[in-house]
Amino acid sequence: MTDTPKAKKEIKPTKNPMPAQDPLVRARNFSEVATGYTKEMAVDEAKRCMQCKKEPCRQGCPVEVYIPQFIKLVAEGNFPGAVAKLKEKNALPAVCGRVCPQEAQCEKYCTLGKKYEPVGIGRIERFCADWELNSGVTIPEVAPSTGFKVAVVGSGPAGLTCAADLAKLGHKVTVFEALHVAGGVLMYGIPEFRLPKAVVQAEVENLKKLGVEIEVNSVVGKFSTVDELMEEGGFDAVFIGTGAGLPYFMKIPGENLCGVYSANEFLTRTNLMKAYKFPDWDTPIKIGKKVAVLGGGNVAMDGARTALRLGADESWIVYRRSENELPARHEEVEHAHEEGVKFALLTSPVEIVADENGWVKGMKCIKYELGEPDASGRRSPVAIPGSEYVMDVDTVVVAIGQGPNPLVPRTTKGLECNKKGNIVADPATGATSKPGVYAGGDVVTGAATVILAMGAGKVGARSINEYLNSKKA
Partner 1 sequence: MFKILEKEVFSPIIKLMVVEAPKVAKSCQAGQFIILRIHEEGERIPLTIADFDRERGTITIVFQEVGKTTVQLGRMEAGDYIKDFVGPLGEATHIEKLGNVLVVGGGVGVAPVHPIARALKEAGNHVIGIIGSRTKDLLFWEDKMRAACSELLVTTDDGSYVRKGFVTDVMKEVIEAKGKENIPLCIAIGPQPMMRACSNLTKEYGIKTIVSLNALMVDGTGMCGCCRVSVGGETKFVCVDGPDFDAHQVDWLELGRRGAYFRAEENKATEHHTCKCGGGK
Binding site for partner 1 (CB under 8 A): 178-180, 216-219, 222-224, 245-247, 249, 255-256, 258-259, 261-262, 264-265, 268-269, 273-274, 277-284, 286, 357-359, 405-407
Pick the closer one to partner 1 by CB: 122 or 247.
Answer: 247
Pick the closer one to partner 1 by CB: 8 or 410.
Answer: 410
CA-nearest of 448, 348, 339 to 21 is 339
3-state DSSP assignment of residue 453 = helix
Taking the complex as a whole, the smallest distance from the CB of residue 130 to partner 1 amounts, in Å, to 24
Taking the complex as a whole, the smallest distance from the CB of residue 99 to partner 1 amounts, in Å, to 19
- Are the C-beta atoms of residues 249 and 255 closer than 8 Å to each other? yes
Rg, Å, the chain Cα set: 23
Cis, bond preceding 404 (omega within 30 deg of 0)? no
Taking the complex as a whole, the smallest distance from the CB of residue 201 to partner 1 amounts, in Å, to 12
- Say how many residues make up the chain: 473
**Using CA atoms, how far apart are residues 403 and 309, in angstroms rounded to an integer?**
27
Pick the closer one to partner 1 by CB: 221 or 381.
Answer: 221
Pick the closer one to partner 1 by CB: 105 or 264.
Answer: 264
CA-nearest of 91, 88, 50 to 66 is 88
Taking the complex as a whole, the smallest distance from the CB of residue 139 to partner 1 amounts, in Å, to 26
Pick the closer one to partner 1 by CB: 262 or 432.
Answer: 262
Query: Which backbone phi and psi does 389 adopt, to 5 degrees?
Result: -155, 160
Pick the closer one to partner 1 by CB: 142 or 202.
Answer: 202
Taking the complex as a whole, the smallest distance from the CB of residue 84 to partner 1 amounts, in Å, to 33
Taking the complex as a whole, the smallest distance from the CB of residue 261 to partner 1 amounts, in Å, to 8
Residue 21, C-beta contacts closer than 8 angstroms, at least 6 positions apart: 29, 31, 32, 33, 35
Query: Which backbone phi and psi does 208 adopt, to 5 degrees?
Result: -60, -30
Pick the closer one to partner 1 by CB: 16 or 402.
Answer: 402
- Are the C-beta atoms of residues 265 and 401 closer than 8 Å to each other? no
- Are the C-beta atoms of residues 143 and 168 closer than 8 Å to each other? yes
**Using CA atoms, how far apart are residues 260 and 262, in angstroms rounded to an integer?**
7
Taking the complex as a whole, the smallest distance from the CB of residue 150 to partner 1 amounts, in Å, to 19
Taking the complex as a whole, the smallest distance from the CB of residue 235 to partner 1 amounts, in Å, to 15
Pick the closer one to partner 1 by CB: 66 or 278.
Answer: 278
Pick the closer one to partner 1 by CB: 101 or 243.
Answer: 243
Pick the closer one to partner 1 by CB: 42 or 240.
Answer: 240
**Using CA atoms, how far apart are residues 144 and 167, in angstroms rounded to an integer?**
10
Taking the complex as a whole, the smallest distance from the CB of residue 416 to partner 1 amounts, in Å, to 21
Taking the complex as a whole, the smallest distance from the CB of residue 30 to partner 1 amounts, in Å, to 16
Taking the complex as a whole, the smallest distance from the CB of residue 217 to partner 1 amounts, in Å, to 4
**Using CA atoms, how far apart are residues 171 and 472, in angstroms rounded to an integer?**
13
**Using CA atoms, how far apart are residues 150 and 211, in angstroms rounded to an integer?**
12
* Angle subtended at Cα 341 by Cα 340 and Cα 346, rounded to the nearest 5 degrees: 135
CA-nearest of 213, 141, 119 to 175 is 213
Pick the closer one to partner 1 by CB: 64 or 355.
Answer: 355
DSSP 232-279: TS--SEEEE-----EE-----TTTTSBTEEEHHHHHIIIIIS-GGGTT
- Are the C-beta atoms of residues 173 and 167 closer than 8 Å to each other? yes
